[in-house]
Amino acid sequence: MTARAAVLSGLGGWVPPRLVTNDQLAEKLDTTDEWIRVRTGIRQRFVVDAGMATSDMAVEAGRRALRSAGESRVDLVVLATSTPDHPCPATAPEVASRLGLGEVPAFDIAAVCSGFVYALAISVAMIECGSADTALVIGADSFSTILNPRDRTTRAIFGDGAGAVVLRAGEAEERGAFLGFDLGSDGSQADLITVPAGGSEQRSMGLVAPEDDYYFAMQGRPVFRNAVVRMSESARKVAERVGWSVGEIDRVIAHQANVRILHAVALELGIPVERLVVNLDRVANTVAASIPLALVDGVVSGHLQPDDHVMLCGFGGGLTWGAAGLTFPSLSVEPLPGLPLPTRPPLPAALPVHAAAR
C-alpha cells in the first residue's frame, strides 16, 4: 500500500503596495543605501499602510494560492504569524471566513521566522494521518508595526508581506510530496529575539515598561551565528532522512534574513551560492512570509524547476528552527504584485545537480 503524503499543489504571495527604498529610510534615519546594502543585501521593502492588518495580506496570499491550486475549498487553515491582528482571538479563523472557506478548523502558529516551516509540518502531519485532505498554509507578518521608528538597524532589515501554499493528500512518490522535516528550539536563548513588553509577564507585574520595550529587539551577532549553524544542521538532518546527499540538493530556500547569513549557510553546507533562491534584496526580511515569498519568486524567475530537490529551512525567535525537503512540482504561480519580474540567476549546471551526481 502506497504511503499517504501531503503534496504541494498551489502557491501564492502578496506584498502591500507601499514601497520604501533604502534612500527613503536614509532621509529619516542615520543611514545610507550603501550601509544597508553592504550589511544585509537589502535594497527595498514593502510596508503596510495605516489600517492594513496581517489578515489583509494573508487573505490576498491565500486567495492567490487557492487559484494556483485550482481549489475553492480546503479542510484546514494554518497561519504562521508573530504579528496577529489582535492578541486574542487568533487571526486564522477570520482569514478562513473572508476566503469563504466556511467553518473549517483554523489556528495560528507563533514561531517568528521559523513559523512557516512549523505550520507546514503540522499541516503535513494532519494530512498524512487522515485528519484533512487539503490545507491552506499561510505565513504573514506586518513587522513594520512593531519596529522602533528610531532604530535604523531593524527598520532597514524588515518588510511586510504574506505567502501561502495549498497542500493536498497524495502519494509519497509524487512530485511535490513533502518527504521529511526537522524541527528544534532552544528557549534558553529566548532573549536574543524578543519584544520585551506587552505580554503577560510584564502586565502581571503591574509595571509600566519603557517605551522601547514595546518594540522588537534583536542581538545581531549571536543571532547570526545561531542562524547559520541551526539552518545548516537542520538541512543536513532532513537530507539524511530523505536519502539525499547534500550535493543532491538543487535549491535551498532559506529564511531571507540577511544575504551574508544565506551565503554562510551555503558555505557551511558546501554548496555553491547559485543554488540559493534569494529575494530579500526586493522584499527584505518578511519573517513568516519569507520562505513562501521566496518560493513564488523562484518559480516565476525559473530558478525553481520541476524535479528539483528543494530544501526549505528557517530560523527565528524562540529560538526556533526547522527544515523540510521535497521534490518540486510543476505549479502555475502569479508574480508578486508591484514588483518587476525577477531575473533568473545563472544555473550551476545544465542538468539538475542531483541528476548530474548520479
Give φ, ψ of 12 to 5 degrees. -155, 155
Question: Could you write out the three-class secondary structure of 266-297?
Answer: HHHHCCCHHHECCCHHHHCECHHHHHHHHHHH
Grid cell listed for 215? 518594540
Decide if 148 is catalytic: no
Q: 107: which strand partners?
A: 78
C-alpha distances (whole Å) from 215 to each of 193, 231, 272, 290 are 11, 26, 37, 20
User: Taking the CA atoms of the chain, what radius of gyration do you get in angstroms?
Assistant: 19
Place of cell 534615519: 29
Residues 6+ apart with CB under 8 A from 208: none
Task: Say which of 113, 226, 309, 313 is annotated catalytic.
Answer: 113
Contact 136, 68 (CB under 8 A): no
Decide if 22 is catalytic: no
Decide if 88 is catalytic: no
Task: Say which of 22, 226, 279, 285 is annotated catalytic.
Answer: 285
Residues 6+ apart with CB under 8 A from 95: 55, 58, 59, 62, 77, 79, 106, 138
Grid cell listed for 57? 495580506
Task: Say which of 255, 279, 309, 313 is annotated catalytic.
Answer: 255
Q: What is the set of active-site residues?
A: 113, 255, 285
